[in-house]
Amino acid sequence: MSFNALVVRKGDDGKTSAAVEQVELDQLPAGEVVVAVEYSTVNYKDGLCIGPGGGLVRDYPHVPGIDLAGTVESSEDDRYKPGDKVVLTGWRVGENRWGGYAQKARVKADHLVPLPDGLTTRQAMAVGTAGFTAMLAVMALEDHGLEPSKGEVLVTGAAGGVGSVATAILAKRGYQVAGVTGRPETADYLKDLGATKIVAREEINETVKRPLEAETWAGCVDAVGGAMLARVLGQMQYGASVAAVGLAGGAGLPATVIPFLLRGVNLLGIDSVMQPYDNRLRAWKRIAEDLPMDKLEAMVQPATLADLPKLGADILGGQVRGRVVVDTN
Ligand code: NDP
């Protein structure tokens, strides 16, 4: 029985190309659970895996898709039975294993979580790795003492996937949110999600000139890294924390250690891929509670498997607004 999948192939010239093809069940990787995939999504990493690979994909042909949500079709693991709704993010699925850009996926039971109460499979994919990571970042900041009374929270890469979800969650929890964007045309969108201030990317994207500036931000969810993160470190309030999530602006960190030494600033690393099961459940529960579903819907751009080659290029170019939901059927 064959089904549709987005297959990336690598030619003799080393170039990759992606197209929807028919795939057989026995081509899927080993695993205990077969999932009838209903929705997937597009994250920055998916852009890499649909396109040149970014060092993430070793073997071709490859089916990308780091996130999936759907219904269990068959299971050799006691934790899941046919008909269960499930979600998968991370664990390098869609990178070193075939992923969610298909109508069926065979996965390891350890990689699944049950669909959180209160969410549909479509909403879970509107959240996806980007939104799950945004929630992990907010949880880390709050675990380190952030609360709304402390002042404004900065979100960098605000109109992207991580940034949009972080903005909506923080606003719902009562924070003043300043969103950094390089796309001024997204200002109304960000304000609708709950941003109280828009900061132009150029204002904050310069190399550090002074290691310490005015103590401005009570916390930061940073999806950009690079020079912007370096600059933000010097603008944090005394004892405040930055959750480092992404590298959309670069993997380097041209900073000094002065903000750590003189202001007790914390740089918190956020990894969504290898998160332990218990913390995954905690984050998904918090998403269902703290992310307003009308705001989530406002972020969504619907897509099909056939749209993915273009969307992959768009997200690498910083051109996707909010979250893409891919209907695999
Ligand atoms: P998106 O492309 O949706 O968002 C990234 C945003 O960053 C863009 O929309 C843009 O926002 C901004 N941006 C892009 N290029 C630059 C640049 N050169 N300088 C400054 N800002 C820039 O991606 P995601 O939200 O899915 O992911 C964001 C980052 O987080 C990626 O680096 C991704 O790899 C990482 N990530 C990490 C995870 C983890 O586990 N740690 C999990 C998920 C994502 P705007 O237009 O508003 O300026």
Does the pLDDT at position 208 exceed 90? no
Give the whole-angstrom CA distance, residue 74 versus residue 299: 33
Closest protein CA for atom 12 of ligand 1: 157
> Cα–Cα distance between 237 and 268 in angstroms, integer?
15
pTM of the model: 0.96
The three state secondary structure string of 98-109 is: CCCCECEEEECH
Ligand 1 center from residue 317 Cα (angstroms) = 10
Please report the pLDDT score of residue 161 as a whole number.
93
Say how many Å lie between the CA of residue 225 and the centre of ligand 1.
9
| Joined tokens for residue 253 | 């960190």
Percentage of residues of the chain with pLDDT beyond 70: 100
pLDDT (tens digit, 9 = 90+) per residue, 268-310?
A: 999 999 999 999 999 999 999 999 999 999 999 999 999 999 9
Average pLDDT of the chain?
Answer: 96
For residues 224 and 258, give the distance between their C-alpha atoms in angstroms, rounded to a whole number. 21
Q: Which domains does the chain show, CATH number per domain?
A: 2-115+297-327 (3.90.180.10), 128-269 (3.40.50.720)
pLDDT, tens digit, 9 for 90 and up, residues 148-188: 999 999 999 999 999 999 999 999 999 999 999 999 999 99
CA of 318 to the centre of ligand 1 (A): 7
Checking if the pLDDT of 207 tops 90, the result is no
